[in-house]
Amino acid sequence: MKLLPRIYPITDASISGLSHAEQVKLLIEGGARFIQIREKKASSRKFFLDTREAVAIARQKGAKIIINDRVDIAFAINADGVHLGQEDIPPRYARKLLGDEAIIGYSTHSVRQAIEALKMPIDYISIGPIFATKTKENPDPAVGLEGIKAVRKVIGSFPLVAIGGINLENAKLVFEAGADCVAVISAIVSEPSRIAERMAMFNSIQK
């Protein structure tokens, strides 16, 4: 894997009330070096301008930016990669467009999907939601800690990111279940004045 941090923050403008560029700046202040930008509501133009600014900030600080879903935006702003879901463009086409050096992640929600993902040109698999989450309008059923263990068993040492309902209280359990990394949205960005602080608190978790 090119780079997989223990803590993988994801921006959300609706939850934080801040632009993605502002969130990226605060996350980096808190120690983030690998950030996913996630946007479901803004226009393509607004998202493009915001992510372009975010990438410029990240480049100055040596951080990497991954774009959720939008391969076109990732390509246009020269992001470090893209994270794709089950309903997005297949990873093989994203790889053709973004190139061999791009980081491509892929969401799975079951052991079967994780096994299928191993055949794809991706760099990491995410599994979730681990716990109940409110950041998606129609979330898949929670897989729990046992879901992490089951996926880890079938994918071996392939990089695994856990996502969904993870907070400071349960993150250590997620690591113990077999995740290499935890992806976090609400528990970091829901209080905009504390984003840097919360990021630093997550980074202090002992695996």
State pLDDT tens for residues 174-190.
999 999 999 999 999 99
- Residue pair 203/30 in contact (Cβ under 8 Å)? The answer is yes
DSSP one-letter string for 61-110: HT-EEEEES-HHHHHHTT-SEEEE-TTSS-HHHHHHHH-TTSEEEEEE-S
Percent of the chain with pLDDT over 90: 91
Distance separating alpha carbons of residues 109 and 204, to the nearest angstrom = 28
3-state percent helix, strand, coil for the chain, nearest multiple of 5 = 45, 20, 40
What does the pLDDT average to over 32-44?
A: 95
Query: Is 136 marked active-site?
Result: yes
Packed helices 44-61 and 20-29: angle between N→C axes, nearest 10 degrees = 20
- Residue pair 196/164 in contact (Cβ under 8 Å)? The answer is no
Q: Considering 19, 107, 126, 198, which one is annotated as catalytic? A: 107
Higher pLDDT, 13 or 137: 13
Packed helices 195-203 and 20-29: angle between N→C axes, nearest 10 degrees = 50
Query: Is 119 marked active-site?
Result: no
What does the pLDDT average to over 116-142?
A: 88
H or E stretch covering 12: strand 7-12
Mean pLDDT of the chain: 95
| Tokens (6 digits) for 200 | 């630093």
Cα 146 off chain centre by: 21
Query: Is 14 marked active-site?
Result: no
Distance separating alpha carbons of residues 171 and 162, to the nearest angstrom = 9
Q: Considering 16, 19, 25, 38, which one is annotated as catalytic? A: 38
Instruction: Read off the pLDDT band of 207 (50, 70, 90).
Output: low
Q: Is the pLDDT of residue 56 over 90?
A: yes
Q: Considering 46, 136, 149, 194, which one is annotated as catalytic? A: 136
